[in-house]
Chain A
Amino acid sequence: MDKEAMLKELGLKTMFDISDEQMPALVDEYEVFMHHVQVLEKIDTTGVAIMAYPYDIETTYMREDEPNDVISRDDALKNAKEVMQNQVKVPKVVG
């Protein structure tokens, strides 16, 4: 698959419709991004663990399964653009 087709597809997976006008800038940024990937590929990381957070966090534990900070249904729907019968309205999903 060529680069543009690959990026177009990846765009759709990210829920974007990338237009023909937007494509050249995306290709340029992709090239820069792949240059970044190459810089990292050259670094020997054998035996190095990933660092997902800046330091070991002592606060990672399962909290009690108790509801907190509950928002009301009215609040939950306040910013939705289409609401019907106390639910967010979307086009039919199941045929």
Chain B
Amino acid sequence: METYTIEQLAAKIKNNEIDLKQYYEELFEEVAIQQKRLNCMVTITREEAFKALEKESGSMLNKIPGVLKDNYSTKGILTTASSRMLEDYVPVYSAAVYESLEKANMALIGKASMDELAMGGTNKSALTGPVLNPWDTSRISGGSSGGSAACVASGLVPFAMGSDTGDSVRKPAGLCGVYGFKPTWGRISRYGIIPYASSLDAVGIFTRNVRDMAIVTRELAGRDNRDMTSSFNEVPDYLADLNPNLAKRTIAVLTTVSNEVRNEKIKANFEEMVAKFKELGAKVIEVTIDQELARAILPVYKIIANSEATSNHACLDGIKYGNRQPGESVDEIMINSRSNGFGDHIKRRFILGNLALATENQEKMFRQAQRVRRLIVQEMDEIFKNADVIIAPNSGQIAPKVAEASDDMLSDEYIILENYLALANFGGNPSLTMPVGMVDGMPIGLNITGRIFEEQTVLDVAYALEQVLDFKDRYKRED
């Protein structure tokens, strides 16, 4: 079947140049093939997609196929967050993002697999099993939004929604060779998204090029009264305002991260990208953050994220909804339901989150992490006084083999390089990962992070680089 970008398909629809019924029939045949190959979906929503064909909207997303991560509440459609606890949960309301997409008349293709409750970076913890990388099915998609990444990277849909608490959109985007964007915390409503850690969680988007990213971001951005953290800031027209001229841009190379890369090919690629930015006319400077603080990124993340998660998910008790197990008392029902409903790694994280929140520990664990978070964000703010964006390699490795991938590595390289993307969650910054090369047959990515609410700058810088590379609109599909 043909694979289109949002812009291409929207033009065909507008000009009546496509038989949409036939297109969607072929698409769902392809969905079945890729689902078998990649295990990327939890639920396939054929009926929803065909309903959209009977309706119209003035949006560029009118009748465009898209996918939602399975932590977006979808009224009347199974929403599991890839957890046994919610394996038969059907929301009675929809997330703000899904409402916006419904209003735009997007055609929902399905709900994508994810790490359980978004707590992981491999997509191996999903109730439905690991999601495989479209470029090599012996490798992981990355997580936690791995199903969404795989759906876009296999060309099934031109865009998919994810969520990003530490790197859960950007990391899998890089490993699967697509674009992953986490706009500013507060830019897009999180209402109705099953949370992980509220002070870090952000809506994220996958596409295969910058222009499509601008379209989806514009469609979703803006104030929503139901999310008290969503911003009143005006939303620019990201697509119309795209400007690839870098003549007045300053790009900061975060050497604290890039110097940690051990893979020579990834290192060489990054140096090549830095050279390209210079050729494009940008001023490129080298910056660092304090090494002790860089090594504290993972500890701060783990303590804050686990603590907020255990609090957010106290509601998952099997009483009002979710997997209910028998018990002689209310407490016993809750303990049995939670013990049965969550994976072991989730239980461990909740317990350790509770440890950091305990009255006797809170000051030295949770609050100390919140203080160090401020010190780290201050380092970033210092850099942003002299630079429009910060760049670094998205990861020091290509997608790991399924059997080898783990969330629990503690090597020096891993500590900084594989966790620094959480910087943008600490500060709430817009942060985009784009494909910039192939290493050993697998895609690698570059991350670009900007000042809060300066999505346009991040998109502009990515747009400039995209035009001198040959990695946009790529996907990998096999039978």
Contact = CB atoms under 8 A, between A and B. Distances in A.
A57 interface: yes
B443 interface: no
B186 interface: yes
B339 A54 contact: no
Contact of A25 (B223, B331, B344): B344
Given A15-B338, A17-B339, A90-B319, A69 B299 contact: no
A50 B367 contact: yes
A88 B322 CA distance: 13
A84 to B, nearest CB: 13
Interface in A28-72: 29-30, 32-33, 35-37, 39-43, 45, 48-55, 57-60, 63, 68-69, 71
Contacts of A81: 318, 324
B92 A16 contact: no
Contacts of B365: 37, 40
Interface string A9-26: 011111111100010011
What DSSP secondary structure best describes chain B's contact surface?
helix
Contacts of A52: 199, 370
B372 to A, nearest CB: 5
A48 B339 contact: no
Contacts of A49: 371, 374
Interface in B281-299: 292-293, 295-296, 298-299
Nearest to A49: B374
Contacts of A88: 319-320
Contacts of B298: 36
B377 A51 contact: yes
A63 to B, nearest CB: 8
A43 B364 contact: no
A55 B303 contact: no
A5 interface: no
Interface stretch (B9-17, B23-31, B224-232): B224-232
B329 interface: yes
A43 B293 contact: yes
Interface stretch (B159-167, B346-354, B384-392): B346-354
Q: Which one of B324, B327, B377 has the greatest number of beta carbons of chain A within 10 Å?
A: B324
Give the contact-size bracket for chain B. 35 or more
A47 B429 CA distance: 25
B185 to A, nearest CB: 5
B368 interface: yes
Nearest to A54: B428
Interface string B304-339: 001000100000011111101001111111111011
Given A51-B374, A59-B232, A26 B351 contact: yes
B295 A53 contact: no
A22 B350 CA distance: 14
Contact of B347 (A18, A30, A35, A57): A18
B194 interface: no
A82 interface: yes
A90 B354 contact: no
A1 interface: no
Given A42-B292, A54-B426, A55-B428, A11 B300 contact: no
6 A-B pairs with least C-beta separation: A54-B428, A79-B321, A36-B299, A50-B370, A51-B374, A45-B371
15 contacts: A14-B310, A15-B335, A17-B335, A25-B348, A35-B410, A39-B296, A40-B369, A41-B368, A49-B371, A50-B370, A50-B371, A59-B229, A69-B93, A71-B93, A91-B328
Given A33-B302, A45-B372, A54-B186, 15 more contacts: A16-B347, A17-B339, A29-B348, A30-B355, A32-B410, A37-B299, A41-B364, A54-B429, A57-B186, A59-B228, A63-B225, A71-B92, A71-B93, A75-B92, A79-B320
